[in-house]
Amino acid sequence: MNRLKNKFALITGGTAGIGFETAKQFLQEGATLAITGRSSKGLHLAKKKFGNDVFLIKSNAGVIEDQKALAKQLVDIFPKLDILYINAGDVTHKPLEKWDENSFDQVMNTNLKGPFFLIQSLLPLLSESASIILCGSVSAQIGLPQSSVYAASKAGLISLARTLSGELKGRGIRVNTLSPGPTHTDAFKKFGLDQEQEEALVEEVKNIIPLKRMGSTLEIAKAAVFMASDESTYMLGSELLIDGGVGNV
Ligand SMILES: NC(=O)c1ccc[n+]([C@@H]2O[C@H](COP(=O)([O-])OP(=O)(O)OC[C@H]3O[C@@H](n4cnc5c(N)ncnc54)[C@H](OP(=O)(O)O)[C@@H]3O)[C@@H](O)[C@H]2O)c1
């Protein structure tokens, strides 16, 4: 239960879904933890569940200024940062003809540009053996209809894990991607699809899972604990798929 003892951790988007379950697991393993959320409602619910066990910070992953402000806030509460789990993501899915420049930019800002500048802003605080975990998606490996911009943003993160590992390895900092497959959260309700499109997509997704079931947030969170801990010190610039076989089988 002490796999993250003496480690300071930040999870973006930790108020619900995968981030929330990961926050619970990180706490159980002894980490000192801060989480971000975008909505006051989400942060309020997290406060009810975590009480004073977690630092709660309001920050929008898609706004560059928020990333700099977040880094400044962390400097005030943490002496160092050992674990950075960039989990917040915009999951908008829609057919090619429905995308416009604004919706394209919003997904890219939240999933790729914001994370890039958050890592840059946190560079002075990151410890010598820090583990940075980027939340990818198996969607980057397959051709799921309606996922074009989302999957491209996640492919960008997988690339960042490699290039930034190359750049930061001299400081002992590891950057890796944790890519979930379809997982039970409220994310499917946020795709921006009408009901008919959502049902069609859910059916399509179910059909492509070799294990014939969605994953649980706990299955993803356990992998995040491994990647955050010193058990994964030989993992660098890599991707861990926890996806019921979607990407490989
Ligand atoms: N669920 C899946 O099937 C699946 C599969 C592959 C990959 N993923 C990835 O896993 C990650 C988490 O997804 P999830 O399914 O757990 O989603 P979720 O249940 O919808 O939870 C998302 C969390 O992120 C926060 N968030 C969303 N946008 C944000 C923003 N712009 N700034 C700050 N916080 C933000 C939300 O807080 P607010 O409510 O305050 O916005 C919430 O805490 C995402 O990166 C997603 O792409 C999910």
In this structure, which residue's CA is closest to atom 44 in ligand 1?
Answer: 89
Q: Looking at the domain assignment, is residue 246 inside a domain?
A: no
Determine the Cα–Cα distance for residues 65 and 75; give it in Å rounded to an integer: 16
- Identify the domain containing residue 64 by its residue range: 8-241
Work out which ligand 1 atom sits closest to the CA atom of 180: 6
The pLDDT > 70 percentage for the chain reads 100
In this predicted model, which residue has the larger pLDDT, 201 or 215?
215
Count of domains in the chain? 1
Segment 32-60 shows an average pLDDT of 97
Q: Looking at the domain assignment, is residue 1 inside a domain?
A: no
Work out which ligand 1 atom sits closest to the CA atom of 189: 20
Q: Looking at the domain assignment, is residue 17 inside a domain?
A: yes
Chain centre distance of CA 44:
20
pLDDT digits (tens, 9 = 90+) for 174-209: 999 999 999 999 888 887 778 888 788 778 888 899
In this structure, which residue's CA is closest to atom 20 in ligand 1?
Answer: 187
pLDDT digits (tens, 9 = 90+) for 94-111: 999 999 999 999 999 999
CATH number for the domain harbouring residue 129: 3.40.50.720
Secondary structure (H, E, C), the chain: CCCCCCCEEEECCCCCHHHHHHHHHHHHCCCEEEEEECCHHHHHHHHHHHCCCEEEEECCCCCHHHHHHHHHHHHHHCCCEEEEEECCCCCCCCCHHHCCHHHHHHHHHHHHHHHHHHHHHHCCCEEEEEEEEEECCHHHHCCCCCCHHHHHHHHHHHHHHHHHHHHHHHHCCEEEEEEECCECCHHHHHCCCCHHHHHHHHHHHHHCCCCCCCECHHHHHHHHHHHHCHHHCCCCCCEEEECCCCCCC
Tally Cβ neighbours within 10 Å of residue 152. Answer: 16
Q: Looking at the domain assignment, is residue 247 inside a domain?
A: no
Determine the Cα–Cα distance for residues 2 and 110; give it in Å rounded to an integer: 32
Asked if residue 18 lies in contact with residue 180, where contact means CB atoms within 8 angstroms, the answer is yes
Q: Looking at the domain assignment, is residue 79 inside a domain?
A: yes
In this structure, which residue's CA is closest to atom 41 in ligand 1?
Answer: 38
Q: Which residues are catalytic?
A: 150
Work out which ligand 1 atom sits closest to the CA atom of 89: 45
Q: Looking at the domain assignment, is residue 156 inside a domain?
A: yes
Give the predicted TM-score (pTM) of the model.
0.97
Residue 204's pLDDT is what? 80
- How close is the Cα of 153 to the center of ligand 1, in Å? 14
Q: Looking at the domain assignment, is residue 3 inside a domain?
A: no
Q: Looking at the domain assignment, is residue 148 inside a domain?
A: yes
